[in-house]
Structure 1
């Protein structure tokens, strides 16, 4: 039996079901999303909008199903969904991959951190972060004030779900090897910010949403 791991809350559970569609991560424009505001560099922290905060922030490695689960979760809750990778793309008029290639990862990480800070301050629905957003110390500090769902996934499942998706700039070449490197480096950071953790390995997206809703008490 796989169990949800969380901070200061009861553990969720649920037996995995096989033979269904995996909770694969889908990179597409999400419905009913906030219109992002342009990020500016360098940025100054802004005070939170009174009474506004995400219902839940979704984090996890590539292949965990963050985008798909965030969209389904928002539909179930009747709230808006927002994805900070899409915010960066809308703000800059470039894809994440193009920003990595033309301007480098450090520039993207600054843009990402600014987009995350803005979304945490203004969004009141479900918020999905890019897989590397937790590497920013300031972002981790801000997430300490929010409910964070960590969608975990094993290497084999993540590699199968990601497949040959060349749109992920940090997974060029040996996808399995690059995934292992990223996951080993980031898992402690996901655990640091997580309010609770859902093992998505053998769950469908809808089953993952059920687990998240149970942890949220919905």
Structure 2
């Protein structure tokens, strides 16, 4: 079984996934890290040198491989849900947790994280907040389609969010510890 975290960049997927995996005693993988390791360069470099279609194909391949593992908590990239087969694979592998956050929180977190600009490309020519609003509008139906659990992160610590996710997991996951 794989528990997959989805949501927009900056919503806390990687941090909450690590906290949940520690509580469950499961492995944790950040899909973006796995993609960069496989490619030998940053996601921004993949976009710039090879283009988004090449990145998305690599993302689909890496995530499909990770979804075949057992007892794994996976933090998927924000756009991983763009591929219908990936969304279906996530649901087949186990619970899919959509972490939602207000646009203002996402903008503040992304703008305040210096590594984000180095590792991940801008997706539009708009400013950070306008890009978030635009991309979220397009992706929200896809997040909704993939998710089996939805957690609102507004006003919560990452520890509170991880606890809420744990409480929302099916009994077969939490009893298996």
TM-score (norm 2): 0.88
Distance 1:103 1:152 in 2: 30
Determine whether 1:82 maps to 2:35: no
Which residue number corresponds to residue 50 of structure 1?
A: none
Match of 2:71 in 1: 124
Post-superposition CA distance 1:176-206 (Å, at most 9, x none): 1111111111111111111110000111100
Residue in structure 1 matched with residue 117 of structure 2 by the alignment? 166
The within-5 A match list for 1:1-218 is 53-54=1-2, 56-145=3-92, 146-163=94-111, 165-167=116-118, 168-170=120-122, 174-216=127-169, 217=171, 218=174
Query: 1:206, 1:130 → 2: CA distance?
Result: 21
The Cα of 1:123 is off from its aligned counterpart by 4.4
Q: CA deviation at 1:152?
A: 0.6
Of 121-130 and 100-109, the range deviating more from structure 2: 121-130
> Rg larger in 1 or in 2?
1
**More moved, 111-120 vs 137-146:** 137-146
Over the aligned positions, Cα root-mean-square deviation in angstroms equals 1.4
Instruction: Give structure 2 stretches of 5+ with no counterpart.
Output: none
Return the alpha-carbon distance in structure 1 between the equivalents of residues 63 and 70 of structure 2: 10
Q: What SS is found at the alignment partner of 2:68?
A: helix
Moved over 2 A (4+): 170-173
Distance 1:162 1:123 in 2: 31
CA deviation after TM superposition for structure 1 residue 173, in Å: 5.5
Name the CA distance, whole Å, in 1 between partners of 2:58 and 2:99. 23
Structure (1/2) with the larger helix percentage: 2
